[in-house]
Amino acid sequence: MRRRLAWLGSLALLAILAGLGWAYAQAGLYGVTIVLRRGGSYWVDVTRDDARLSPAMRLALRDPVPAVRAGPIAWRSLAEGFEVAEMPVLAGEAEVDRLLLTRIDPRHFRLIARGAPAGNRDLRDWRRALGAVLVVNGSFYDRYGDPDTPMVSDGQRLGPATYEARHGAVVSDASGTRLLDLRGQDWRAALAGARDGVVSWPLLLAPDGSSRAAGDARWLANRSFLGQDRDGRILIGTTADAFFSLRRFADFLREAPLDLAIALNLDGGPVACQAVRLAGYERDFCGLWETQTVEDRIRLLRWPLWWRRFGLPVVLAVVPR
């Protein structure tokens, strides 16, 4: 019996090592980290009314999709130049989603960009490591955890050297933090001289009121975005559920009472995370939802260790100036 148990244990160890070796071959250290953190990720086919989808997602997959509007919003000041609020998303009188919002004045707070390609820091890890008053997920990253869009972190250029950018960027330097429309502007020039910054897509709301958001209406996910209002304040928002496709999210933000002049999408799904800790107030949220489509099939993202949060290879954080 002891020999048999030892033999089975050896086989199990070999299987684990082989699995980790495969993960490393596929995605480097990031691949190993995601296997150890949550057992990896996988997609399952679902129907439009599948019970595994959230109620908001099942509603968004109806034809037609119900029209929604912004509910009442009340900003709460935590410090000079730093406010938080929550905005209900209403279909009729029923709440179908909610925006978790933060608004900062660049004269008092600045945005920084940071990365950890190993994917070994989740939302709380980042907030503690940076001592930030806010952390939100950043833009997209590749299978190795490296930035998939150009990025500047503490003056260091990261991400691809060759990239075609037609959407937007956020830039932070000595003069403040601002969002830029990159149509007709080279991203290298936009990031030149920046202390921190990141390119992302799509541009949900351009300065002329148009949107460059597209994609399948069945692509639903928790969403994070950056915006700048007409007074120059920076807004950071994350949805509590996954009611919105990108196009409908852009339409909603255009009509919402946020006075947005420009809005830029960040990465979404389970990495759509936002944490705030300031003056006794705490917010700590990460999404759970994302679908994709393959021809006529709708697929839902799942992972074995459901309670484990995703690591965040790219984040944006807010610190006092």
C-alpha to C-alpha distance for 36 and 31, rounded to whole angstroms: 9
Cβ–Cβ < 8 Å for 42, 300: no
Nearest to 225 by CA among 159, 167, 174: 167
pLDDT of residue 25: 72
Those residues whose C-beta lies under 8 Å from the C-beta of residue 258, and which sit 6 or more positions away, are 101, 227, 229, 235
pLDDT of residue 35: 86
pLDDT of residue 28: 79
pLDDT of residue 2: 73
Residue with tokens 């610190």: 319
pLDDT of residue 14: 58
pLDDT of residue 22: 61
Nearest to 271 by CA among 309, 307, 243, 236: 309
pLDDT of 255-277, one tens digit each? 999 999 999 999 999 999 999 99
pLDDT of residue 16: 56
pLDDT of residue 213: 97
What predicted TM-score, i.e. pTM, was given to this entire model?
A: 0.93
C-alpha to C-alpha distance for 309 and 70, rounded to whole angstroms: 29
C-alpha to C-alpha distance for 312 and 6, rounded to whole angstroms: 38
If DSSP codes are grouped into helix, strand and coil, which group holds residue 69? strand
Computed from CA positions of residues 127, 125, 89, 210, in that sequence, does the dihedral angle turn out positive or negative? positive
> What are phi and psi for residue 105, nearest 5 degrees?
-95, 120
- Each residue's pLDDT, cut to its tens digit, for the chain (321 residues) gives 777 766 666 655 555 555 657 667 777 789 888 888 888 899 999 999 999 999 999 999 999 999 999 999 999 999 999 999 999 999 999 999 999 999 999 999 999 999 999 999 999 999 999 999 999 999 999 999 999 999 999 999 999 999 999 999 999 999 999 999 999 899 999 999 999 999 999 999 999 999 999 989 999 999 999 999 999 999 999 999 999 999 999 999 999 999 999 999 999 999 999 999 999 999 999 999 999 999 999 999 999 998 899 999 999 999 999
Find the farthest-apart pair of alpha carbons in the chain and give their distance in angstroms, rounded.
Answer: 75
pLDDT of residue 21: 72
pLDDT of residue 17: 54
- Mean pLDDT, rounded, of the chain: 94
Peptide bond preceding 304: is omega within 30 degrees of 0, i.e. cis? no
